[in-house]
A and B are shown apart, each in its own frame.
Chain A
Amino acid sequence: MGTFTDVGCRPVAKKKISEILEKIYRRRLSSWRRFARSFMGNDEDAEDVVQEAIRRMLSADPPLRTESQVDRYVFTAMRTCALKMLKKRSRLVLVEQMDLEHDRSAEGVLALLVAIEEGYEGERLTQRVLREVKRLPPTERRAVELLVLRPKPLKLREAAEREGVAISTMHNRLQAALKRLADVIRDDPGEEGKDET
Chain B
Amino acid sequence: MKQHPTTEALLAYPMGELEPETARSVFEHCNSCPECGAELAMIITLRATVVASERPDARTWPWLAVAASVLLLIAIGVAVANLGVGFLPMRPWTSTVGDEPPGPGPGAEVAPRQADYASLATRETLPQAHVDFRYGLATPAAANQRLIRQGVQAIVDERFDDAERILRRLHEERPSDAEISVHLGVAMYLQGDLSDVTETLLRDAPPTASLGRTGHWYLGNLLLARGDVQRARSVLESLVGADDRWGRRAQELLRAIDRA
Contacts and interface: CB of A to CB of B under 8 A. Distances in A.
Contact of A105 (B31, B44, B50, B56): B31
Given A24-B56, A116-B41, A126-B53, A150 B201 contact: yes
A89 interface: yes
Contacts of B74: none
A187 to B, nearest CB: 11
B166 interface: no
A121 interface: no
B200 A104 contact: no
Contact of B99 (A45, A69, A116): A69
Given A41-B16, A149-B46, A182 B52 contact: no
A55 interface: no
Interface string B14-42: 11101110011011101111101111111
Contact of B51 (A35, A178, A182): A35
Nearest to A116: B45
Interface of A: 24, 27-28, 31, 34-35, 37-46, 66-69, 71-72, 75, 79, 86, 89-90, 93, 99, 103-105, 107-113, 116, 123, 125-126, 129-130, 133, 144-145, 147-156, 158, 161-162, 171, 174-175, 178-179, 181-182, 185
Contacts of B171: 151-152
Contacts of A155: 8, 11
Contacts, number: 174
B20 A42 contact: yes
Contacts of A130: 49, 53, 196
A149 B50 contact: yes
B47 interface: yes
Given A28-B56, A69-B98, A156-B8, A109 B27 contact: yes
B136 interface: no
Contact of A41 (B27, B31, B39, B54): B27
Nearest to A167: B7
A171 B7 CA distance: 8
A178 B43 contact: yes
A108 B56 contact: no
B97 interface: yes
B66 interface: no
Contacts of A75: 52
A90 B28 contact: yes
Contact of A133 (B32, B33, B196): B196
A190 to B, nearest CB: 17
